């Protein structure tokens, strides 16, 4: 699962972000991105990312923290996706 999560992070962070909030000096990029996300921005699904995985990620990004899945549920869903080859 560690290898899977590493690939997930790599794929999410390797896509260039073309947002006005990120057109700032590097030191303030994370603050700008956090504000952008707080305003409701959610990164689009990369073409290579299975829809089932993106759906899980979107659930984790729910605007209301109380409606986000518990980590145990996230881990269980990630394991299920890994077993079925992410195509579930």
78 in any annotated domain: yes
CB within 8 A of 35, min separation 6: which ones? 21
Q: What confidence category does residue 4 fall into, taking pLDDT thresholds of 50, 70 and 90?
A: low
The helix/strand/coil state of 18 is coil
CA distances (Å), origin 27, targets 9, 14, 38: 21, 18, 19
Q: What confidence category does residue 1 fall into, taking pLDDT thresholds of 50, 70 and 90?
A: low
37 in any annotated domain: no
CA distances (Å), origin 54, targets 13, 23, 32, 44: 14, 25, 23, 9
Judge if pTM exceeds 0.95.
no
19 in any annotated domain: no
18 in any annotated domain: no
66 in any annotated domain: yes
Q: Which structural domain range is residue 85 located in?
A: 48-88
What tens digit of pLDDT does each residue of 26-85 get? 546 777 888 888 888 888 999 999 999 999 999 999 989 999 999 999 999 999 988 877
Domain count, the chain: 1
């Amino acid at each position: 699962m560690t290898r899977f999560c590493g690939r997930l992070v790599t794929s999410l962070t390797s896509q260039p972000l073309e947002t006005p909030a990120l057109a700032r000096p590097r030191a303030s990029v994370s603050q700008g991105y956090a504000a952008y996300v707080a305003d409701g921005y959610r990164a689009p699904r990369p073409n290579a990312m299975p829809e089932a995985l993106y759906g899980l990620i979107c659930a984790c990004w729910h605007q209301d923290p109380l409606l986000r899945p518990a980590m145990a549920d996230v881990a269980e869903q990630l394991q299920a996706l890994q077993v079925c080859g992410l195509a579930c």
